[in-house]
Structure 1
């Protein structure tokens, strides 16, 4: 949706404790700085009103309270990937960096670019993503404990108390991870029962991966084509060539969902054997001389393509269905 020419655009550079705000008043650039809290939000609305278009970067978690507040007040909100703003500034040969300058660039981007309005995610998606993040943190702690135990076992002198403490911590972490994973899957199955059933029909994808895919794709609600999923997972190929002298390898972007990317890569080993379309694709690429990893990444992309088609069509996997398995 294109930004209205007459609509006032507010650029906001968000940091942990403050908001740097840039807007036009009587055709003159104005700057305002407020705290990143409810008091600052009210000051912002009082100054700029609810009829304005508020544009900000997706800066960690620090933009969320502001975005929710503005949305609740009835204002239109745009949240932009920081990489896009960075590229926009570079494209316009912007020099120097400060919060005020960044806010001004963000405002200009909102005025000159076709933008999509931000909407809050469903509560179940937000809660499940928080569970997923805690599980990731606990898994990292578990890995650290395992490494510490292995290092301790190699010591010529070993404290039994230290070993006992590490083993107890490991058991506690494993129990917590299991409980949270079960709760996460249970929440997703209650919210997306039909979608999980559909995704689980794909050979190579189990219920746990199906749940992770739904969380990753936010229930497939706002996904309009499978290429968006591939790009979001960081599985899009990126070519590195220039003229006749530079011929780099084609690699994936690795931007975005590292967790779902690693999960899909594990699923690809099973899919290349049990999933008809994935098996044909893998064998064709290997026959052409592609190495195994490149072929497996192609299988990951195929799985995402199948997942998108199956959820959108509400038709379970059928190996003879060309529109899905092709």
Structure 2
């Protein structure tokens, strides 16, 4: 959606505790700083109104409360990937960095570019994503405890109380992880029964990965093509060449999507054997001399391509799916 020529654009640089705001008043840039809390949001609305277009970066979780508040007030909101703003500043040879300058650049970006209005995700997606994040944190803690326990076992002198404490902690973490994983999957299967069933029909993708993929894609509600999924997962190829002298390896971007990337990579080992299209792709790349890891990454991309086509078409996986997903 293009920004209206007369619509006021407000650029906001969001940090944990504060908001740096830039907007025009009688064609002159004005800066405002408020706290990143409901009182600060009210001050912002009072100053700039609900008719303005509010543009901000997707800075971790810190922008969410503001975005939800503005949306609830009926104000149009745009949330931009920070990498896009960074590239925009570089393209215009921007120098120096401060919260005020960043807010100014964000406002300018929103004014000069085609932008899409932000919409909050379904509540069930948000809640499930929070469960998923906690599961990942608990898994990391479990790995740390396992490493500590293994290190303790190698000690010539071992404190039995310390070992007992670590084992109890490990048992508690495993119980919590299992409970949360079961709850997460049950919630997703209840809310998105059709989508989970469709995704699970793909050889190489199990129910848990289907749930992870569904959350990653936001229920596939706002995804218009499979390339968006590949880019969001950080699986897009990035070539590094220059002239005739520099011939770097083609690598993936690895920007965002680390969880789904790791899940799909594990799935690719099974998919290259049991998934007809993935097997054909893997064998063809290996026959051309590509290394196994590169071929597996291509399989990950193929799985995302299949997932998009299957969910959007409503047709479960078939061995001849290559004719549909090509």
Q: Which TM class, normalised by the smaller chain length?
A: over 0.9
Query: Considering only aligned residues, what root-mean-square deviation do their CA atoms show, in Å?
Result: 0.8
Task: Give the TM-score taking structure 1 as reference length.
Answer: 0.99
Aligned to 1:314: 314
Name the count of aligned residue pairs. Answer: 326
Deviation at 1:325, TM superposition (A): 5.1
3-state SS of 2:50 partner: coil
Aligned equivalent of 1:11 = 11
| Pairs within 5 Å for 1:1-326 | 1-324=1-324, 326=326
Is the partner of 1:307 in helix, strand or coil?
helix
Unaligned regions of 5+ residues in structure 2, if any? none
Query: How far apart, CA to CA, are the structure 1 residues paired with 2:320 and 2:152?
Result: 55
Contact 1:18 1:33 in 2 (8 A): yes
Distance 1:279 1:325 in 2: 15
Report the Cα distance in structure 1 between the residues aligned to 2:321 and 2:11, rounded to whole angstroms: 48
Q: When the two structures are superposed, what TM-score results if normalisation uses the length of structure 2? A: 0.99
Q: Report Cα offsets for 1:216-246 as digits up to 9, x if no partner.
A: 0000000000011011111111101100000
Determine the C-alpha separation between the residues in 2 that align with 1:220 and 1:100: 36
Contact 1:319 1:325 in 2 (8 A): no
CA distance in 1, matches of 2:255, 2:237: 11
- Return 5+ residue gaps in structure 1 as ranges: none
CA distance in 1, matches of 2:321, 2:44: 54
Q: Distance in 1 between matches of 2:266 and 2:204?
A: 9
Kindly provide the CA deviation profile for residues 181-226 of structure 1, in whole angstroms up to 9, marking residues without a partner as x: 0111111111110001111111111111111100000000000000
CA distance in 2, matches of 1:63, 1:294: 36
C-alpha offsets along residues 138-182 of structure 1, whole Å, 9 cap, x if unaligned? 001000000000000000000000000000000000000000001
> 1:11-41: CA deviations, max 9, x gaps?
0111111111110011111111111111111
Contact 2:18/2:34 (CA < 8 Å) preserved in 1?
yes
Q: Secondary structure at the match of 1:213?
A: helix
Q: Could you list the per-position Cα deviations for residues 117-140 of structure 1 after superposition, in whole angstroms to 9, with x for gaps in the alignment?
A: 000011011001100110111001
